[in-house]
Structure 1
Amino acid sequence: MTRRGARLTDAQRLDWLRLIRTENVGPRTFRALINQFGGAAAALEALPGLARRGGRHAAPRIPSLREAEEEWHALADLGGRFVATTDPDYPPELRGIEDAPPLLAVRGTETALAAPKVAIVGARNASAAGRTMAGRLARDLGAAGYVVVSGLARGIDAAAHGASLPTGTIGVFAGGLARPYPPENLPLIEEVAQSGAVVSEMPIAWEPRARDFPRRNRLVSGMALAVIVVEAAERSGSLITARFAGEQGREVFAVPGSPLDPRAGGSNRLLKDGAGLVTEAADVIEALAPLRARGPSDEVEAPPPRLDPPAAPPDTVRGRVVELLGPVPTFPDDLVRLARCTAAEVQIILLELELAGRLERHSGGAVSLR
């Protein structure tokens, strides 16, 4: 383990950027590669061979150093910077989730990133009462020392951000920082960047797609100690945020609404399922007091230095592991036991398959074939 503050050099940060932007490399794969090879530079060198052994004929596309430098400078031109999980200003709660982004593109203050946070989310087509409630909660939480996190969407998100501007707020992009969304919130987004921070894990010019919003939602919940849902319909994106919060061990709260209003159907169901009932910020502040007093851990994982690259598993072992995999999620420990091989061999084979585009990772560490 290593203390926070082990800052990367610029060269290392560029290698991290190239690795996380590589085809078929997500946060979990990035972490596995770093753990296996001891650094991004060694992992980048090993990628073509890993993908080939996984069954891919052409190597995954790896951004060039020039492309990484261009993104780096484009972010700097926006007044932003890349923050790595090893940096002291990386959001401490976010660092602890299993698929934490290795690098966050950030415009804003270190103070907002380091502060304790509460997420407020809800309907885009929110009622006047819902927006008023979101604003009241945001103001009172801000006065109690919490930074408010949300997704910069219309309705509840915008109300929560606007009310917490004086005390600090963080907006999470679904696309890149050069592609703010929705367009009508551009003035608000600029105010959020000035008073707190806006962040994204996506390439700077990435246009947000429908499937990027759930991915964004896991960061909203992952940054926070708790998520408050205000006016969420059934099948709402806010319920996805609440689900992520539960998986990440966060507290989940909901504001009760009229049973006659479909905008409250999802939030009322959360209450039936055990979410904490909120009628004022004090409900949340009291519940979070023990967590806030304990504070986040000062330690993060650091892979041991590796002098030699790990050996490729024998074809016989690879064949047994691949045969055991299928569309049903399976845990790596079961693969180790049933294939009669080592954990290190299984991890390398899973990396090979993932880089070849044949593997899908699930929450809790399970894997399946695509």
Structure 2
Amino acid sequence: MSEQERFDRLRLIRSPRIGPVTFRQLLARFGSAGEALRAVPDLAARGGGRAVLAEAAVVEREIAASRALGARYLLMGDTDYPFLLDQLEGAPPALIVRGDVALPARPCVAMVGARNASAAAIRFARGLAQDLGQRGAVVVSGLARGIDTAAHQGSLDTGTIAVIASGFDIAFPPENATLQAEVAERGLLVTEHPPGVQPLARHFPARNRIIAGLAAGTVVVEAAPKSGSLITARIAAEAGREVMAVPGSPIDPRAQGCNLLIREGATLVQNAADVMEALGAIDDRMVRQGRQDFNAPPMGSDVAEQERAAVIALLGPVAVPVDEIIRLSALSPAVVQTVLLELELAGRLERQAGGRVSLG
């Protein structure tokens, strides 16, 4: 990949209204980010809006700031882009990393849990992470208080990956600033956010998808029923990864999430041997390194006005699956996907989880 193409890909994903799904569609349709950038204004106009592209100078400043922090970029399509993450729907087209980029190629296990975890759970998580490391696994977590912190501390000597919800120049929580620096030096620190980006609430579910995507399986140690840890477990399950949970006392609210996962089919684990047995060997079908087609749906170059109107008529404020729009419109997937792309670039469409879309 040329330096110009790398720059254009970063500029494309930094442009408003262009998320991971749209990024893949544009690359699949136009072959290069440069061609996609040139085509976006016309596509947005067809959708009834005006394109907004990231300014080249802004992207240049971001790259300079990242380099000043000792970070580098891993772009989707790079040979060292994490191959398991690459298979995840909505995987970030650009990662900013510091540390050992070879770690994701080893067997990875995500460990997540409560921020207000009990002392017993923190001790257990630290020991479990240490034991997993001694068995050759890399532990992935989110550098949050509680279970995440314990997981990184236990695996710092054997291999740990921390995914954060801010830029590298910001430590959150503040008390983990030293641990964040240690992970960057001895493990791998990962974010999808440029320097200066604060850890806003909406960034944490997005961070959780990276945690789940990097690992062959996710272990939940202690979690409430509606916690972010269960979001990570759900993403892992939807991606076909192993979901494991450590059982807890039924009278402790912090254990209810884990017990619920087990009741719904998650694997009960009590030690590192249980985790490694549950993971087994990674299915070769999950590994497709060097993917160039970005798994994008087919796109059409020309759409008749009546076809565009038919698709828009089926959309509304309630999110519906794209497959349903294709079925009801009786149009080809290429035509429907093209109209949706135009609407999104025009700022009129929002993409939801599970391949659903709605009018914005």
Q: Please classify the TM superposition score into its range, dividing by the shorter chain length.
A: over 0.9
TM-score of the two chains, using structure 1 as the length reference: 0.91
Displacement of 1:195 in angstroms is 1.3
How many angstroms apart in 2 are the aligned matches of 1:221 and 1:70? 30
Whether 2:87 is the aligned partner of 1:96: answer yes
Q: What is the root-mean-square deviation in Å for CA atoms of aligned residues? A: 1.9
Partner of 2:252: 261
Matched-pair contact (CA < 8 Å) for 2:250–2:256: yes
TM-score of the two chains, using structure 2 as the length reference: 0.94
Matched-pair contact (CA < 8 Å) for 2:262–2:268: yes
Q: 1:204 to 1:251 in 2, by over 3 A?
A: same
- The amino acid that maps onto 2:192 is E
2:121 to 118, 130, 134: 130
Partner of 1:242: 233
Matched-pair contact (CA < 8 Å) for 1:37–1:310: no
How many angstroms apart in 2 are the aligned matches of 1:321 and 1:15? 31
Matched-pair contact (CA < 8 Å) for 1:82–1:106: yes
- The amino acid that maps onto 2:252 is D
Displacement of 1:204 in angstroms is 2.3
Q: Deviations over 1:11-45 (max 9, x none)?
A: 11110111001011111111111112211111111
Whether 2:351 is the aligned partner of 1:358: answer no
How many angstroms apart in 2 are the aligned matches of 1:10 and 1:154? 38
2:13 to 7, 16, 20: 20
Partner of 1:4: none
Matched-pair contact (CA < 8 Å) for 1:38–1:303: no
Partner of 2:222: 231
Partner of 1:3: none
Q: 1:129 to 1:333 in 2, by over 3 A?
A: closer
Displacement of 1:299 in angstroms is 4.6
Describe how 1:1-370 pairs up with structure 2 within 5 A: 8-56=1-49, 58-60=50-52, 62-291=53-282, 296-302=287-293, 311-370=301-360
- The amino acid that maps onto 2:277 is E
SS at match of 2:244: strand
Would you say how many aligned residue pairs link Structure 1 and Structure 2? 357
Q: Deviations over 1:153-203 (max 9, x none)?
A: 011000000110001100001112222211110000011111111111122
SS at match of 1:74: helix
Q: Deviations over 1:54-98 (max 9, x none)?
A: 122x432x1222221211111111111110121121111100011
How many angstroms apart in 1 are the aligned matches of 2:355 and 2:116? 36
Q: Select between 325-334 and 149-158 the one with higher mean Cα deviation.
A: 325-334
Q: Deviations over 1:253-283 (max 9, x none)?
A: 1111111211111111111111111110100
Q: 1:12 to 1:299 in 2, by over 3 A?
A: closer
Q: 1:146 to 1:337 in 2, by over 3 A?
A: same
How many angstroms apart in 2 are the aligned matches of 1:295 and 1:236? 28
- Unpaired segments of 5 or more residues in structure 1? 1-7
